[in-house]
Amino acid sequence: MTTSRGGTEPDFVDGIVSVIADSHAPDVVQAKALAYRLRRIAHRLELEIKRELAPHEIELWELEMLACLIRAEPDHRLSAGALVTQLQLTSGAVTNRVTQLERKGLVSRDFDPADRRSILVSLTAAGAERADHVLGVKTNAERALLASLSPASQRRLNRELRTLLISLEGSV
């Protein structure tokens, strides 16, 4: 990795790679290094965002569900199935989380009038207010964590990761 000072500094993953480099092909080492870095970065992002949200007494999973509903224009309502897909959770996990948010008055749940077998989850006014209050905290934490990358580097990395995600999940 090249630093802003123009030098190369090793990171934690470089230590791992130096141990396995002789026993794996270069392409395998490269893939492992990238996978290790992605996992470590994702873990650090999640930990820091949770730390920033803690004083606001909201869990990251709560904010992610509220944000999902905020994005559901125009009525801030999604089916439980859509929440499963968007949040990449099981139906049981979504049911549990919706129940917890419903108890707090942040969401409501109703039968879909078009299909009584389907449940619609709606953002309440209190839920929208709560999300609006803390979404900026999450955004500021994300920006601070990624500030060591220039805007051009962030755009380039976003393009590369989009390509990877499409190969794994397909396009929408």
Q: Which residue has the higher pLDDT, 105 or 6?
A: 105
CB 97 within 8 A of CB 80: no
Model confidence pLDDT, tens digit, residues 93-136: 999 999 999 999 999 999 888 888 888 999 999 999 999 999 99
CB 13 within 8 A of CB 36: yes
Predicted TM-score (pTM) of the model is: 0.80
Q: Give the pLDDT mean for 37-46.
A: 95
- Provide, rounded to the nearest whole percent, the portion of the chain with pLDDT above 70: 96
Residues in the chain: 172
Q: Which residues pair with 32 in a beta bridge?
A: none
Q: b vs e for 4-25, b when ≥16 Cβ sit within 10 Å of the residue's Cβ?
A: eeeeeeeeebeeebeeeeeeee
The pLDDT, as a whole number, for residue 144 is: 95
Mean pLDDT value across the chain: 91
- Predicted confidence (pLDDT) at residue 3 exceeds the cutoff of 70: no
| pLDDT at 5 exceeding the cut of 60 | no
